Structures are given as structure tokens and as C-alpha cells.
Structure 1
Amino acid sequence: MVLNQLTVFFIIIYVFESLTIIAQSSFTLAILGREWVLVKRLSPAEMILICLGICRFCQQWSSVLSNFCFYFKLNCVLWNTEIIWEFTNVLTFLFASLLAVFYCVKVSCITHPIFFWLRWRILRLVPWLLLSAVVISCVAVIPSAIRTHIQLELTIMEHSPTNSTLIEKLKMFEQNFSKAHKIVVLTIPFLLFLVSTIILMACLIQHWKQMQQHNTSLSNSSLKAHSSALRSLAIFFILFTAYFLMIVLTFADMKSKKGHWCWAWEVIIYAIVSIHSTSLTLSSPTLKKALKIKFWGRESA
């Protein structure tokens, strides 16, 4: 297969982004893993971040394999890597939603009894919620494994004297079911992320307005902290929403899957993932401190 210059350009950018995401995930795993070895414990937020780092690391490698297998028509490897990518993608959505729910429960000023109960139990619930996310992701990809088996059967049937109309109907049903299943599976955790983030932002804005009425130096520093938190939340909200929309459009086949447009679409998606990973890294005090030490020395920390 002959590659034109534009395709090569997009492939190079995509590979660079993939290596960046893998490096970011590896950094998260190394720093938080070392923290766990030294201190023998991690905060709930750090537990979610390290799980998200593992997930992103595996997801990016499966994405690279899947995209190159698809482009160079290595179908025997493609179907297996697609299942791995789908599993890690669902898990990424669940972990990101869990992170939003955790901060919503810890920071929000809602006085409903359910929130009081969650605020009291959340520290002990996080490990079980992480395990539940893994189990849910395993269950969610079962239809994809069945779909892979159907694809293999349909491929065999194409080379046998079978009714071609029946094969086309089966293919159409399989494709439509696959699209609907993938979109629904991702929409549920995304809505959870959406609701949690909106509640958290509303509470922070309300608290920020209340503090504006005071003019003390303490309130000024609190205002800056709240403004910074709101900016971070807005960035998380925009990036994660953009990633969700891109993935949904991909599943809906609203992009061209041929030539350089395939790689251009992947460049856009994983540019969003890279920026989102960077934002998550900077939101963790432990990871932020490690970055300062690495690039500016211990005096800066």
C-alpha cells in the first residue's frame, strides 16, 4: 500500500500523541506506585487516578495496534485488539465518571441525607466502586465478543454458496446492533459524569458568590482557589464532553474510514485525550509536585 504525504503526516502526529499519552500514563503509574510503596496507602482520588493511568496505558497501545491493523487490513489481529480497546474505553469512562462523583460527594454543599451518607462512606466505597467498574466493563464487552464471532462466521459464509441477501441482512443487523450497544454503554457513565460535574460547579459558584461579599485576605485566597477549581472543572468538562462526542461520531460512522481522513480523525481524538491526561496530572498534588522536582529541582517543590 502506497502512502501519500498527507497520510504519513497524520500517522506521524498520531504516533507522537500516542507516545505522549503512554508516557503520561507511565509517569502516573510510576509516581503513584512509588507513593503507595513508601506510604502504604493512597487517597481515594489517587486510587482512581492510578487505575485511570493503567487503563489509558492499555487503551493507547490497543488503539495503535487496532488502527494499524485496520489500515493495513490485518483482520485476524484487528478483531482482538478492538475488543481490548472497547473494554479499556468503557473502563476509562467509568473511572472518569467515578472521579467526578467522588469530588461531587466530597465538595458539594448539598444537604440531602443521601449525600450525607455517601460523604461518610465514600472513602471505604471507592475500592469496591473501582472493582465494580472493571466487572461492568467485562459484562459490557460480551456483546462485542459475540459480534466478533458473528463477523468470523459471516466471513466464512461469504466464501460459501449461501444466499448473499441473507448475509447482507445479517451484516446490517450486526452493524446496527453494535452501534446502538456501544453508544448506550458509553452514554450512561457520561451522563453520570455530566450530572456530577454540573452539581459540583453549581456548588462552587454558589460558594464563590458568598465569599465575594467578604473582603478579608483569607477570603481573597479562597476566591483564587475556587476560581482555579472552577477553571479546572470547566476544562475537564469540555475535554471529556468533546472526547465523548468524537467517540459517538466514530461509532455512528460519520467519519471517512479511508485514507488520510481516518488518521486525521484519530489525531483529533487523541489530542483531546492527551490534553485531558495532562489536566488530570496537574490536578493531583502528588503528581504536580513530582513534575516540579523533575523539571525545576527540589527547591521548587
Structure 2
Amino acid sequence: MSAGLDIIFLTLSTAEFIIGMLGNVFIGLVNCSEWVKNRKISLADFILTCLAISKITQLLVSLFESFMMGLNPPFYSTYKLAKPVALLWRITNHLAIWFTTCLSIFYLLKIAQFAHSLFLWLRWRMNRVVLAILVFSLFFLLFDFLLLETFNDLFLNIYAMDESNLTLYINESKTFYIKTPILLSFSYIIPIVLSLTSLLLLFLSLVKHIRNLHLNSMGSRDFSAQAHKKAIKMVVSFLFLFTVHFFSIQLSNWMLFLLWNNRSTKFIMLAICVFPSGHSLILILGNSRLRQTALKVLWHLKSSLKREKPISSLQKDLPKPF
């Protein structure tokens, strides 16, 4: 039964990996080719490219962790390898979340319409604002390193205990362990607040814009209103996937600690990859250039399959040689 669950877990993990890699590699290739072709890149494309690279690395690390959990090797033989892998996953996850937050702020500064002097000052210095946010996020990354190092040492000590002392050790470390995941999740609070603020301001700007149009017949075809709605959809999709991603991480931390010997708890890890896998597809659908390029690629693939089909059918109709 456990072997069957491991096979299902590895199959689903591989499927999530393939879907995420297709989307993120496509985004990276399209933006990099445009960068080489035009010898310049916009701020939005730069953020999308960095986001795709961070998610590609995150998916690779997640697939490696999935095979480690699915194959269930001896703990002590993989701890030295699992520790740097966990740190690498934390780095890529941190960068992916903050790059997505910067994309939400970019939509706000680029599309929203406010006459406030602070907003106009931020819009005028958009590139510096995004760069300052990324530099600011590095301080939280250093804070995560210190906490994650302590968390890994605690987890190793739990495995080092025998069954007679395990309950006693967990009871003694319960207060410390409750604080550790809370502190580890502290770095997620600021990006979620920034994204929620961007979503709220985008919505208020859209309402204000539609009100200024007096709901006339041209309102539905107004380009600014359409840009507002598209940006709101993108931010909402990020917040939804990020919420699933965040609660999955918290739940996996608790389950891995409290039910470390339960093999079925690893399926919670599948929900963590929903954000890097699914968000890339939403970004492609929300970006007109990426969407048109994807449609062209699909059309070429469909045309090539149609050309190959008659050739294969003609080969079947040919008489077999004696």
C-alpha cells in the first residue's frame, strides 16, 4: 500500500513539474529572445524573466525533494544533502514571491490613475522603487536563513531521539517549535500586504475611472478600463495561488514535525507546487504578447502534426515488398 502511494505521489509531482517547466521556460525564452533581438528589455519583462528563472529553480528543487520523500532513503544518509536543498528552496521561493509582488506594484504604478503627489513621485521613480523593494527583501532572506538553520537542527534532534525519549523531547520543544514556523512565515506578511494594497488601489482607480466616464457607451471599450481589469485579475490570481501556497507550507511544517512517520503526509507537499506551476500559465494568458506567441507555437505544432499524418497514412497504403 505504501509503495502504491509513493508511486502516485511521484507521478503527481512529475506532472506538476512538467506543467510548471513548460510555462516558465516558455516565458524565459520569449523574453530573452526579445531582449537579444531589441537589445533592451522593459521593466515588466525583466521582472517576468527573473520570476521565471526563480520558479524553474524552485521546481527543480521541489522535484528533487519529492523523489527524496517518495523513495524514502535513510534519513542520516540524506540529511547533509537535504539541508542545502532546503536552503536553496527557501531562496527560490523567497525570490519568486517577491518578484511577483514587484509585478503587482508595477501594475499599480503603471496603470492606476491617482493625482496624489506621493503616487506620482513613486511612478516617476518606478525602476528605483522596484529595485528598492528587492533589496529590502534580501534582509528578510537573511532572517530566514538564521531561523531555518535553527529549525533544521531541531528537526535533526527529533530524528536522533529514540521512541522512548521522542515524546518527552517534543513536549519540551513544543513552545520553541510553535514560535519557529510563525517566525518563518513572518517574511510572507509584507509581500501579501503589498499585493493586497496594490489590488485595493487598482480597484479604486478602476471605479474612479469608470465614474469619470459616466458609464457611457464607450466605457466597455476603454483601453484604460480593460488594463485595470486585466491587472486586477492577475493580482487576484497571484493572491489566490499564494494563499494556497502559504497555508500548504505551514501545514506541511506542522504535519512533518508532528506526524513525521506518516507516509501520507507527503501529499500536502503537492499543493506547495501549485503556485510555481499554475501561476506561469496565468501570466501567459494575461500577457498579450506571451499569449499570441503561445498560440503561434501551438498553431505550428498543429500544422506539423497534420503534415506528418498524411505521410504516415501514405506509407501504410504502400504495397509491402516481397
**Band the TM-score falls in, shorter-chain normalisation:** 0.7 to 0.9
| Residue type of the alignment partner of 1:10 | F
Decide whether aligned partners of structure 1 residues 256 and 53 sit closer, same or farther in structure 2, where only a CA change above 3 A counts: farther
CA distance in 1, matches of 2:210, 2:175: 52
1:99 lines up with 2:103 in the alignment: yes
State the partner residue of 2:221: 220
State the partner residue of 2:252: 250
| Residue type of the alignment partner of 1:62 | V
* Contact 2:158-2:166 within 8 A present in 1 as well: no
CA distance in 1, matches of 2:67, 2:44: 34
* Contact 1:17-1:270 within 8 A present in 2 as well: yes
1:145 to 140, 146, 149: 149
Aligned-residue Cα RMSD (Å) equals 3.2
CA distance in 2, matches of 1:172, 1:219: 56
Decide whether aligned partners of structure 1 residues 219 and 179 sit closer, same or farther in structure 2, where only a CA change above 3 A counts: closer
Decide whether aligned partners of structure 1 residues 245 and 208 sit closer, same or farther in structure 2, where only a CA change above 3 A counts: farther
State the partner residue of 2:203: 201
* Contact 1:197-1:237 within 8 A present in 2 as well: no
Decide whether aligned partners of structure 1 residues 156 and 211 sit closer, same or farther in structure 2, where only a CA change above 3 A counts: closer
| C-alpha distance after superposition, 1:227-266 (max 9, x if no partner) | 4444444333322333233333333449966323422x23
**1:183-202 alignment runs, 5 A limit:** 183-202=185-204
Decide whether aligned partners of structure 1 residues 32 and 127 sit closer, same or farther in structure 2, where only a CA change above 3 A counts: farther
| Residue type of the alignment partner of 2:112 | S
Decide whether aligned partners of structure 1 residues 107 and 179 sit closer, same or farther in structure 2, where only a CA change above 3 A counts: same
State the partner residue of 2:306: none
CA distance in 1, matches of 2:233, 2:181: 34
State the partner residue of 1:75: 79
Describe the SS at the equivalent of 1:119. helix
State the partner residue of 1:238: 240
Equivalenced residues, count: 290
CA distance in 1, matches of 2:233, 2:103: 17
Deviation at 1:293, TM superposition (A): 2.1
1:270 lines up with 2:273 in the alignment: yes
CA distance in 1, matches of 2:166, 2:3: 35
| C-alpha distance after superposition, 1:188-213 (max 9, x if no partner) | 21221122122212322432354462
TM-score normalised by structure 1 residue count: 0.81
CA distance in 1, matches of 2:38, 2:142: 31
**1:1-301 alignment runs, 5 A limit:** 3-71=2-70, 72=72, 73=75, 74-134=78-138, 136-148=140-152, 154=157, 171-172=173-174, 175-211=177-213, 213-216=215-218, 219-222=220-223, 226-253=228-255, 258-263=262-267, 265-297=268-300
CA distance in 1, matches of 2:32, 2:202: 29
Structure 1 residues not aligned, in runs of 5+: none
| Residue type of the alignment partner of 1:290 | T
Deviation at 1:156, TM superposition (A): 10
CA distance in 1, matches of 2:132, 2:170: 44
Structure 2 residues not aligned, in runs of 5+: 301-322
CA distance in 1, matches of 2:191, 2:235: 17
TM-score normalised by structure 2 residue count: 0.76
CA distance in 2, matches of 1:224, 1:120: 23
CA distance in 2, matches of 1:91, 1:227: 26
Identity score, percent: 23
CA distance in 2, matches of 1:119, 1:83: 35
Decide whether aligned partners of structure 1 residues 25 and 292 sit closer, same or farther in structure 2, where only a CA change above 3 A counts: same
Deviation at 1:115, TM superposition (A): 0.8
Deviation at 1:149, TM superposition (A): 5.1
* Contact 2:19-2:277 within 8 A present in 1 as well: yes
